[in-house]
Structure 1
Amino acid sequence: MDTRERTTAVGHLDADCFYVSAERVRDAFLVDKPVGVLGNQGACVIAKSYEMKAAGVKTADPIWEALVKCPDGIYVKRDFRWYEVLSRLMRDLVHELSPRVEYYSIDEFFFQAEVRGGRTFQDLAEAMRDRIWERIGVPVTVGIARTRTLAKLISDAAKPHGALAVIDEDEVEQFLAVQPVTEITGVAGRRAARLAPWGIATCLDLARADRRLVRKLLTAAGETLWWELNGEPVQAIHSRRPAHKALSRGGSFGESTADPMVLYAWLVRNLERLIEELRFHDVAAGRLTVMVQYKTGHTGAGGKSLVVPSDRFDVLLETARPCLRQAWMRGVQATHMHLIAENLAPRGQCALALFDPPSQRIQAEAVARVKEQINDRHGRFTLRSAATLYLPSIYRDTANAYDICDIRGKICF
C-alpha cells in the first residue's frame, strides 16, 4: 500500500429516510413517530420512516393500503423545494471536508476522501456524519473505501446514522464475504440469476470470479463492478453534472378528462413548468414533443422542431399547440400528459430567428423576467401566463393544497 492509497479514497454519503428526516427538521413533533410522505396527488407513499417501515408500509403503497397497515401513522404533504434546500446545505458541508464532490442525487453524494495529519478515514467518516447532524439535523450514513462501488456497499450496510471506513484488504474481503451479490447497485434479480449457476452468490464470489466470465454474464458494466470490488477505481467522481439530453415535465391529471379545454389548460400548466426547468439549466429547446396517455392504454404523441432553439413561452406555446392536436384522441378519456424538450442548446448561444421582430423578442423577455421576479418573491406560479385558463381545479387542489411541484431528476443540481 503506497502513500497515495493511504491518504486518498472514495466516500459515499446517503441521508437516512431523507424526506422524512427533512420534515422532522422543521417539526420535532414527528420525531420517533411513524411518518409517511405522500406523492403528487396524495395517492401513494413515496417515503417512510423506519417506524412506518416496521409496520409493513412500503414505498409506492397506495395511501388506502398504508392506512390499513399503519393506522396510527402521520401522512404529510411532500415539499421538494424544502428537501432541495437541505440537500444544498448538505452539499456545502461535504465540500468543507472534501475537495471533490459528486451530487449523485438529492440525498446522496460521492466525494474524494482525504486524510492528513495523523487522522484516519474512520475519523473522516465520523466527522462528516456528525457535522451534518449537528448543523442541519439530518441523519446521514457515510461509507469510505477504495472505490465507489465499495463505498456505497459499506454505507448501505452501516445504516442508519452510521460511519464506517473499510480500507484494509483483509477487512474488505471479510465484509464482501457476508454481502449478497444483490446488494450491489445494478445487480438485481435477473442478473443475480445469471450468476447463480456459477456459484456466485456473495459480493466476494463476484470479486473472485474470472473477469472474462463476469464480462460475458454481465457485459462491460459487470466488468466495471468486478474491478471496483477488487479495489481498482474505475468509476470517477464527477464534480460537474453531465449535460442533459432532454428535459420533461408532466404527470397524472388526477382525474381523467376528455374535455379539450382541460387538456389545453394542462398543456399551458406543464409548459410553464418545463420553461422553468429550461431556465434553471440555462438551455433552450430545439424540439418539443407532447405525449398524452389515455384510459384505453393508447398514447398519442405530437412533435415539432423549432427553427431556432428557444425557452420563450410565446414561441414554445405556438409550437406545442399543433403537437397537442396530433396527440389528441377525440372523446377518449385522457389520464396523463408529458412535454419533452429535446435538442437542447446552451441559452444565449443560439442564433436569432430571422422573422422574430426585435420588439417582440424584447417584450417577451421582459415579461419573462417580471414573472420570474414576482414568483421568486411571492411563491411559485403566483403570476401565470395570460394563456392560462381559469381552471383552479387543475392548478390547485383546494381541499388538500397539493400543488404540483417537481424533482430535478437523478442529478439534481
Structure 2
Amino acid sequence: MRRQGPVGHVDADAFYVAAERVRYAHLAGMPVGVLGNQGACVIAKSYEMKATGVGTGMPIWDAMKLCPEGIYVKRDFRWYEVLSRLMLETMRELSPRVEYYSIDEFFFEAAKPPAGDYQDYAVLVRDRLMDRIRVPVTVGIARTRTLAKLISDTAKPFGALAILDKAAEESLLAARPVTDVTGIAGRREKRLLPWGIRTCLDLAKSDRRLIRGLLTASGEALWWELNGDPVIPINAERTPHKVISRGGSFGDPTDKPDVLWAWLVRNLERMVEELLYHRVLAGRVAVWVGYRDGHAGEGHATLEVPTDRFDVLLDTFRPCLRRAWVPRALASRMHLFAEDMRPHAPRQLGLFDGLDAEDAATAVKQAVNGRHGRIALRSAATLPLGPIYADRANGYDICDVRGKTCF
C-alpha cells in the first residue's frame, strides 16, 4: 500500500436542514427541524433550534413545547442524495482520492495547493462546496483520518482547520473526551475508565498492548491513528456487502397479522432491489420484530440455493415471521436481513429451463418502476399500508442511498 499523505474530513453542518434551505431560501436563520418518516420525532435540527434545547430523536410534541416558533418539515432523502452526489463530484475535483463515508461526510486525500499550505487547502474545500452547492461544511485536515474527524468536530460550524504539528495535536487531544473518538462509547468507555483513560490524549499515551487487550485490534488501530500513524485507509470504492438489511419503524404499532405481513413484503421488495443492483445472492435470511413492550422476536432460515428471487425469498421469510410473531402483542418495528452473500454468477441452464412466469413478472415490474418510480408497481400484499405509500416521504430512505461506506 502506497504511503498516504495528510487526510481530510468534510462534514456538512446540519446537513438535512441545510438541504432544505437550499431549495427553500426563506428558511435561512429560522429554527428548523427535520422530522422522520411518520413525522413523530426530530431527526435533525438547525443550530437555532438546537439553542432552544431541542435534541435529535426528540418527539415532535416535546420539541414544539421547547420551540413553538420552529418550522418542522418531513425529511426527503431523495433530495438529500442529490446534493450529496453534487458534493461528491466537487470533492473528486479537489482530491485524487475521496471516500463517500456517509450522505454528509467524506474523507479525502489532501492535495497541497502549489501556492499555499494545508490550512489554505482546508479553506478552499470549505468555500468551494459552499459556493457551488450552497451547503455549509466543516473541514479538518490531519495526519490520519481519526485525527481529521476530531479536528472537524472541534471546528464546527463552518470551520476549516489543518493541524499537522504533533504539539498542536496533543493540545487538541487533551481537550477532547475519549468518547469523541468514533468507535469508543458505552462499554468501551467503561473498559477504559479503570485505567484512568478519560481523554483522547490519555488513550494515545497509553500502552499499545493494553489498548489492544481492552479494545481488540480495532481499538489498537485507533491508538495508532491518534499517534499520527495512518493505518485506516481511504476507501475510494465501497467494499462488497456482507449483509443487506431493510426495515424500520412502523409509526403506528400493530398486532394485525396482515399488516405485519404487508410490512415484511414492503421491506423484502426493497431488499430485492439491492440484491439485484449489487448482483449478489442471499444464502441466509433473518427477520427481527420489535414490540412496544420491549420484547423482540427473531426467525432465521438457510436457503438450499442462494437467490435474489422475490418469490423464493418470500416463501423463506414466511416461517421466519411466524417464529418472530408474538400474537396480540403490539409490534413497532421490523428488520429483514440477507446474509451469506454470494456473487451473482452465470449458471448452467437445464434442458427445460427458461424464462418462467416469475422472471417475466420481475422484468415487467423493474421496467415499470424504472420508468415511473420505484413503488409505482408493487405487491398487492402491501395494500394494508396504503397511507404509507401515499406519503411521498416514505418512498426513499437513508439506506437507499447507495455507495456509502459507513453501512
Please list every run of 5 or more consecutive structure 1 residues that lacks an aligned counterpart in the other structure: none
Tell me which of 273, 282, 285 is aligned to 1:285.
282
Q: 1:178 to 1:255 in 2, by over 3 A?
A: closer
Output the aligned Cα RMSD: 2.7
Q: 1:30 to 1:242 in 2, by over 3 A?
A: same
| Alignment pair present for 1:65 and 2:58 | no
3-state DSSP of counterpart to 1:396? helix
1:100 alignment partner in structure 2? 97
1:40 and 1:405 in contact (8 A); partners too? no
3-state DSSP of counterpart to 1:151? helix
Superposed displacement of residue 296, structure 1: 4.8
Superposed displacement of residue 156, structure 1: 0.8
Q: Deviations over 1:226-270 (max 9, x none)?
A: 222221112111112122211111222222333322222222212
1:405 alignment partner in structure 2? 396
2:99 and 2:236 in contact (8 A); partners too? yes
1:345 alignment partner in structure 2? 342
Q: How far apart in 2 are the matches of 1:149 and 1:377?
A: 42
Tell me which of 146, 149, 156 is aligned to 1:152.
149
3-state DSSP of counterpart to 1:391? helix
Q: How far apart in 1 are the matches of 2:321 and 2:284?
A: 14
2:7 alignment partner in structure 1? 10
Q: How far apart in 2 are the matches of 1:353 and 1:343?
A: 23
1:377 alignment partner in structure 2? 371
Q: Deviations over 1:281-317 (max 9, x none)?
A: 2322222223333345443333332232222222222
Superposed displacement of residue 27, structure 1: 0.9
2:136 and 2:158 in contact (8 A); partners too? yes
3-state DSSP of counterpart to 1:403? helix
Q: Deviations over 1:173-213 (max 9, x none)?
A: 33333333332223336544554555544333333333334
Q: Which amino acid aligns with 1:364?
A: E
- 1:360-371 correspondence runs (5 A): 360=356, 363-371=357-365
3-state DSSP of counterpart to 1:304? strand
- 1:47-62 correspondence runs (5 A): 47-62=44-59
Q: 1:327 to 1:351 in 2, by over 3 A?
A: farther
| Alignment pair present for 1:210 and 2:207 | yes
1:170 alignment partner in structure 2? 167
Superposed displacement of residue 50, structure 1: 0.5
Tell me which of 360, 379, 390 is aligned to 2:383.
390
Please list every run of 5 or more consecutive structure 2 residues that lacks an aligned counterpart in the other structure: none
Q: Which amino acid aligns with 1:272?
A: E
Superposed displacement of residue 155, structure 1: 0.8
Q: 1:19 to 1:307 in 2, by over 3 A?
A: same
Q: Which amino acid aligns with 1:338?
A: H
Superposed displacement of residue 142, structure 1: 0.8
1:358 alignment partner in structure 2? 354
- 1:233-272 correspondence runs (5 A): 233-272=230-269
Superposed displacement of residue 153, structure 1: 1.0
Q: 1:217 to 1:135 in 2, by over 3 A?
A: same
1:134 alignment partner in structure 2? 131
Q: 1:352 to 1:260 in 2, by over 3 A?
A: farther
Q: 1:128 to 1:250 in 2, by over 3 A?
A: same
1:42 and 1:402 in contact (8 A); partners too? no
Q: 1:33 to 1:212 in 2, by over 3 A?
A: same
3-state DSSP of counterpart to 1:123? helix
3-state DSSP of counterpart to 1:303? strand
Superposed displacement of residue 218, structure 1: 3.8
1:183 alignment partner in structure 2? 180
Q: 1:298 to 1:404 in 2, by over 3 A?
A: farther
Q: 1:291 to 1:213 in 2, by over 3 A?
A: closer
Q: 1:14 to 1:115 in 2, by over 3 A?
A: same
3-state DSSP of counterpart to 1:114? coil
Aligned identity (percent) is 60
1:289 and 1:303 in contact (8 A); partners too? yes
2:306 alignment partner in structure 1? 309
Q: Which amino acid aligns with 1:252?
A: S
1:10 and 1:148 in contact (8 A); partners too? yes
3-state DSSP of counterpart to 1:358? coil
1:43 and 1:63 in contact (8 A); partners too? yes
Q: 1:171 to 1:41 in 2, by over 3 A?
A: same
Q: 1:344 to 1:274 in 2, by over 3 A?
A: same
Q: Which amino acid aligns with 2:388?
A: Y
1:269 and 1:395 in contact (8 A); partners too? no
Q: 1:321 to 1:406 in 2, by over 3 A?
A: same
Superposed displacement of residue 225, structure 1: 2.4
2:289 and 2:334 in contact (8 A); partners too? yes
Q: 1:380 to 1:116 in 2, by over 3 A?
A: same
Q: How far apart in 1 are the matches of 2:341 and 2:273?
A: 14
Q: Which amino acid aligns with 1:405?
A: Y
- TM-score, normalised via structure 1 length: 0.88
Q: Which amino acid aligns with 1:305?
A: T
Q: How far apart in 1 are the matches of 2:304 and 2:189?
A: 48
Q: Which piece of structure 1 moves more, 323-332 or 68-77? A: 323-332
Q: 1:412 to 1:199 in 2, by over 3 A?
A: closer
- TM-score, normalised via structure 2 length: 0.89
Q: How far apart in 1 are the matches of 2:315 and 2:349?
A: 15
1:308 and 1:353 in contact (8 A); partners too? no
Superposed displacement of residue 167, structure 1: 1.2
Report how many residues are paired. 403
Q: 1:191 to 1:294 in 2, by over 3 A?
A: closer
